[in-house]
Every structure is written in structure tokens, then in C-alpha cells.
A and B are shown apart, each in its own frame.
Chain A
Amino acid sequence: MSEIILESRSINKSFHDPVTVKILNDINFKVNKGEFVSVVGKSGCGKSTLLYILSTMDTDYEGELLIDNIKMTGKTEAELAHVRNEKIGFVFQFHYLLNEFSALKNVMLPGLKLGKHSEQEVEHRAMELMKKLSIDKLALKDANQLSGGEKQRVAIARALINDPDIIMGDEPTGNLDKKNSEIVFDILKQLTIEFKQTMLIVTHDPEFAGKTQRVIEMEDGRIIRQ
């Protein structure tokens, strides 16, 4: 029996505007440590909505969410921010780096926020991570000078800076060409193999999903296969 890192207990969510529409219907699943899970489904099936609930950013739902066996439901906004900082790494579809900062500073920011290590250590760790993702040459470039693939790799490095329990991705390759998609996928794969990094990736790319260890398929707000 492996360790459970993320657990969703009968999560329901509805939008009420203009009419009540049920988006998520009784979502129950668990993610074990070290698993590489992908969530697939058609556009509008609620997979992104689910991801935002799991990432603690969306708190407007019914049911319970546990991360690292700690109940997240009902925590304050500041506590959840701390959880996101410490335990969750994010990779988004649109890279979302802060353009005001260099690539290195982008990677460092969550580490500085956590404040567990000194600035020098955080910088050192960030450089190590960037080296591992072979983007160390870009460290001092501004975020808006990078290409899409490079940005996404910087975003992955940023997601890793605090040794998170889980990395969540929302279509991380959705906006990349085939070559870059492969590079990003290989990096994510490598992270699960080498560092036993847990991954939960939402995608609509069946090819991407097919290469992951476990696929959760959704349709109309329900899990139809996991």
C-alpha cells in the first residue's frame, strides 16, 4: 500500500449563474505518491474546474479535499496560500511567468516566499534546477525574451523549487509545438522516474495521456474511468 498524497472525497460543484448547472458530480479518487496521473476528457467536461479545486485555488465546492492526508476544506485563504506555496507546484498552459523578473528570479520567487532557506540557498537551488532542465543559460534573461518551450521549462523549474508533494499541470503542452511538447513531457516523465515526483496533469491530448502511468477519464462532470 503506497502513500496517498491527494484525495478527493465526493466533490461536487455547480455554477449558479444564470441557472444552476452541475459541473462536477461526486468526484472520488486518490493519487498515490510517485504516480504520474493524467486527467483527460472533452472540453467542458469539468477537468480544469476539478484541477483548480484540487489546487486549493477554488474553494467554492462541496465535499472534501485532502492533501498529504490533511483536510484542505475550510482552511483560510492565507493557510491555503501557504499550502500552495509549500506543497503544490503549478505548470499552466500559458506559461505565466512574471515578465518583470528574470527567469532565475521567477524560479526563485516561491522559494523566497516560503522562506525556509536563505536567499543564496534558494538561488543555488534554482540554478541547479535550471541546469537539470538545461535552461541555465537563460537564467538572467527577462521572462518575455524566452520562447514558449523555454518559458514552460522555466515554469517547471519554478514548480519544483520548494520540493512540492505534487505537481499539477493544466494542459502544460497545450500551447507548444510537437517538439517542445515532447521535451516538456520527457522532463515531467524524468521527474517521476528519478525523483518519484507525483504528477497530476490535465490534458486533452490523448497521445500525452497515453504515455502516463494512469489515466482518469471524465465526461460531463463525472469520472467514467480511472
Chain B
Amino acid sequence: MNLRLIVSIAKSLLLARLKQTIVAAVGVTFSITMFVTLLGFMTGLNTMLDSLILNRTPHVRLFNDIKPLEVQPIDASGKFKGAYNFISSIKSGAGRKEIYNSGAIIQRINEDDRVLGLAPRINAPVFFNDGAIEITASINGIDVVEEMRLFHFNEYVTTGNPIDLKNVSNSIVLGKALAEKLLANIGDVVQLTTSQGERFPLKVVGYFESGLLDFDKTQAYASIGTVQKLLGKDKSYVTDLQVKLNDILLAPAVAKEYAILFQTDTEDIQTANSQFETGSRVRSIISYTVGITLLVVAGFGIYNILNMMIFEKMETIAILKATGFSGNDVKRIFMTIAMTIGVVGGLAGLLFGFLLSSLIDQIPFNTAALPTITTYPINYNIVYYIIGVTFALITTYFAGFFPARKAGKVDPVIIIRGK
């Protein structure tokens, strides 16, 4: 009963100052709109930029790095025990680049529950022969089907059908920039030379655009079998094993485990791409800061308007008190006003935020660097909407709290006498 009365009084006071109320609510609406849009847009961009790299990056990569032995023969020798050697110009071992016993490792990894999938790869340097000119590039032998499933290979092949790599023998997909250098059209045959001096003709079946121009200038893809043939290696020759996990967060642990288990070098995605995470974090922090600043400003708006309203309504407050409303009742009336402004403004803000996001989502965004993106990316994560409305309520609560407390403390005698 009492609550209903308080709400009805608050309503009358609000409606009596409809314009002011709307101005205050619009402040909240605006800030929530911007908050939701800004975060949606920022995280949308973040996700897009990250996926540019992360989608293609294996969670755990197994490879054999070229590096000097950790334990040099001289250290192993008992003769120099306790001594320190000053041998300079130690050379890296003439070890093979391939992963030893790849067949067994692949089988073992595929049996691991944590693993979503695995794609073997061969990386080899080659020269493309364009008349008299040689262009240095790198050819990747891939398992096309797995590469498409795990690392979105098909999304980057902008011309041609990626599955042709598998179906057409001696075929190659060139980076678009590389193809332009070679003046190679689809269906053309390009000549390439391996580091061993073998010369091979390969048929171009497609172009790919990764979004990174420098990458596109130097990369080409062929099926794993084709590259094995190029290098004159057998079917078990693989230089990289790319593992995708069900949970990306397990990557560092899995990488460490595999390094010991399979005696290879491993690298996890977090280590390989730590700069992306940092970038995303900084961008998120900036968006949150701007969003919360907007909300606080809106809070001051509410604070001002309520203060003004209380100043104008001194007589009303005095009369309410004289006729039996306690300070607490008056406080509740003004809190109700503040929270109404907050809730109405906040919900409208969510709606407008969603609409504005949808609008931005429609704006064309074509860039050569991002072939798969056609409009500005927006993240519609409900979490931002929840954070937005929660902050709106908290800000309006505090913006309303102090004026309401002041209203509750108004001494009716001073007002009534002062007239």
C-alpha cells in the first residue's frame, strides 16, 4: 500500500516535470547506447583481427627447430668435467627438419581427447622461375581437407576451388600478390625450383588472400603429396604437425607435454601470438573506460536534475512531511524517481544500442586485406548489454541517493516559515 502510494506520488512528480525527466533519461539512454555500441563494435573488430591470425594458427605446433645441441659433445666428455668451454662458432646440428616417426605421433595425437584435429604440413623454400627472374617463396604442403576443417583454408582462397589442390595432380594455389608478380592466371603452369635444384611445373588452380600482403607475396600451397614429390621424400615426411585443441586455454600445457613425449620442439598459440592478446586487452580496456565515463557523466546529469527538482519541490516535500510522510518516505519517492529515469533510460539505451549496432553492421566494409569481411563486424554478446544496464542502475542509484537523502532531510519548518 505504502509502496504503491510512493510510486504514484513519484509518478505525479515525474509527469509534472516531464521535459526535465526526459532530458535526464535521454542522458542515460545516450550513454547506454554508446556503451553497448562501442563495446559491440570494438570487440567485433577485436575478434575479427584476432581471428585473422588465430583461426589460421594451430593451438599447438610440433616441429624440429634448427638450433645447436643443448648438450654439446664437449660437455658430455668426462675429460672436461667441471671446466668451462670457450669454443665459438658452434654450428647447428645437421639434423633433419622432418618430424621423426611422424606416423606414430599422428596416431597418438589423434587418440588424445583434448584434440579437435590435426593437420600435417610440410614447409619448404622454393624459387619460382619467371623467365630469367627467380622469386623466392615458400611452399606449404597441406592436407587440404583437414586444413579446411581446422584452419578455414577455404575462406582465404578467393579464386578457384581449394579442393582442386587435392583432386588435380601437380596443382598449386598461389598467394594473390605472388600470382600477380608471376603473371600467373588460373590454369597456367608455373615453374619452380627446389633448394635441391629440382625443377617442377605446377598448375595454378587458385589464389588465396590472407589479409597480410607480405605473406601473400611469398606463400604458395600445394597438397602434401605434391610437396613430398617435389622434395623427393617419402610419404612419412612432414615438417610440422598443427594441432587444434577443443579448449585453446590448454595449449601451453599440451605443448609442454608433447615436447617431452615426442622429443620435438613445440609452440603454443599463446606464446606465438601474445601480442594479439595484449592488443585486444588494451582495446577492451579503452572501450570500457570510455563507456563508463559516459555513464558517469549521465549520472551527474541525473544528479543535477534531481537536485534541481528537489530545490523546486521544497514546498511539496515540506507539505508531505507536515501531513505525515517521514523523511524515509520522501527519500524513497525521490529514489523511485531516480531509478525510474535509470531503468527507462537504460532499457531505451539497450534498444537504441542494439539498433545502432545493427546499423553499423550493415555498413559495407570492403578491404583487400580482409576478403571474408563485407560489413563492419559487431559483437552482439549479451554480456555487454547486461553490464551496460547494470552500470546504468548503479550510476542512477548513486546519482539519486544523495539528492534523495537531502530531500529526506528537508526541515519542513524552515520551508513553511520562510514563505
Q: Which residues of A contact B (CB under 8 A)?
A: 48, 52, 55, 57-58, 77-78, 81-86, 90, 92-94, 96-101, 105, 109-110, 112-115, 158, 162, 170
Contact = CB atoms under 8 A, between A and B. Distances in A.
B284 to A, nearest CB: 45
A52 B417 contact: yes
Given A100-B316, A101-B12, A113 B322 contact: no
Given A52-B417, A113-B329, 9 more contacts: A77-B327, A84-B324, A92-B416, A96-B318, A96-B322, A100-B16, A109-B320, A110-B323, A170-B416
B5 interface: yes
Given A58-B413, A81-B329, A96-B416, A115 B323 contact: no
Contacts of A112: 1, 5
Nearest to B330: A81
A156 B175 CA distance: 91
B96 interface: no
Given A57-B321, A85-B323, A99-B16, A78 B416 contact: no
B259 interface: no
A78 B323 contact: no
Contacts of B13: 100
A48 B418 CA distance: 12
23 contacts: A48-B417, A57-B321, A57-B411, A57-B412, A81-B325, A84-B322, A85-B323, A92-B322, A92-B416, A96-B318, A96-B416, A98-B12, A98-B316, A98-B320, A99-B316, A100-B12, A100-B15, A109-B9, A109-B323, A113-B5, A113-B325, A115-B2, A170-B416
A167 B316 CA distance: 20
A52 B323 contact: no
A140 B339 CA distance: 29
Find the residue from B5, B9, B326, B412 having the highest chain A CB count within 10 A: B326
B315 interface: yes
Interface string B157-194: 00000000000000000000000000000000000000
A82 B2 CA distance: 13
Find the residue from B322, B327, B329, B413 having the highest chain A CB count within 10 A: B322
Interface residues of B, number: 28
B324 A113 contact: yes
B419 interface: yes
A130 to B, nearest CB: 17
B328 interface: yes
Contact of A113 (B2, B328, B411, B417): B2
A105 B411 CA distance: 24
A96 B319 contact: yes
Contacts of B318: 96
Contacts of B9: 109
Contact of A81 (B2, B15, B324): B324
Nearest to B412: A57
Contacts of A94: 419
Nearest to B323: A110
Contacts of A110: 323-324
